[in-house]
Structure 1
Amino acid sequence: MKYKSVFDIIGPVMVGPSSSHTAGAARIGRAARNLFGKEPTWAEIIFYGSFAKTYQGHGTDVAIVAGILDFDTANENIRHSIEIATEKGIKLLFSEEDVAVDHPNTVRIKMGNETESIELVGISIGGGKVEITELNGFDLHLSGNHPAILIMHNDRFGAIASVTQILAKHEINIGRMEVSRKDIGKEALMVIELDQNIERSIENELAAAKHILHISKIVD
Structure 2
Amino acid sequence: MKYRSAFDIIGPVMVGPSSSHTAGAVRIGRVARSLFEKQPKKVDIYLYGSFATTYKGHGTDLALVAGLLDFDTFDERIPHSLKMADESGMEVFFHTEKAIPDHPNTVKLKLEDGDQTLEIIGISIGGGTIEIIEINSFKLKLSGDPAFLVMHQDQFGVVSCVTSILSKYKINIGHMEVSRKEKGDMAIMVIEVDQKIEETVLNEIKELSNVKGVIRMVA
Query: Which of the five TM-score ranges fits, normalised by the shorter chain?
Result: over 0.9
Whether the 8 Å contact between 1:22 and 1:60 is mirrored in structure 2 is yes
Give, in whole Å, the separation in 2 of the partners of 1:42 and 1:23.
22
For 1:7-64, what per-residue CA distance to the aligned partner results, in whole angstroms no more than 9, with x for missing partners? 3322111000000000000000011011111111111111000000000111001000
In structure 1, the partner of 2:137 is 137
- Cα distance in structure 2, aligned partners of 1:19 and 1:74: 11
Distance 1:126 1:77 in 2: 22
- State the match for 2:66 in structure 1: 66
**SS of equivalent to 1:150:** strand
TM-score by length of 1: 0.96
Are 2:95 and 1:95 equivalent residues in the alignment?
yes
Distance change >3 Å, CA 170–CA 7, structure 1 → 2: closer
TM-score (norm 2): 0.96
Deviation at 1:217, TM superposition (A): 1.4
Cα deviation, 1:49-102, whole Å, max 9, x if unaligned, reads 000000011100100000011100000001101111100010111111101210
Distance 1:90 1:171 in 2: 40
Percentage identity across paired residues of the two chains: 56
2:50 is aligned to: 50
Q: Tell whether 2:213 aligns with 1:197.
A: no
SS class of match (1:217): strand
* Residues 1:4 and 1:135: Cα distance change in structure 2 (over 3 Å): closer
Name the Cα RMSD after superposition. Answer: 1.2
Aligned 8 A contact 1:111 1:119 in 2? yes
Letter in 2 for 1:179: V
Letter in 1 for 2:195: Q
> Counterpart in 1 of 2:81?
81
Question: Structure 2: how far apart are the matches of 1:70 and 1:81?
Answer: 10
Q: Could you tell me how far 1:6 is from its partner in structure 2?
A: 4.1
Matched residue, 1:216: 215
Mind listing any 5+ residue stretches in structure 1 that lack a counterpart? none
Structure 2: where are the runs of 5+ without partners?
Answer: none
Q: CA deviation at 1:5?
A: 4.6
Q: Which residue of 2 aligns with 1:119?
A: 119
Deviation at 1:208, TM superposition (A): 0.9
Aligned to 2:25: 25
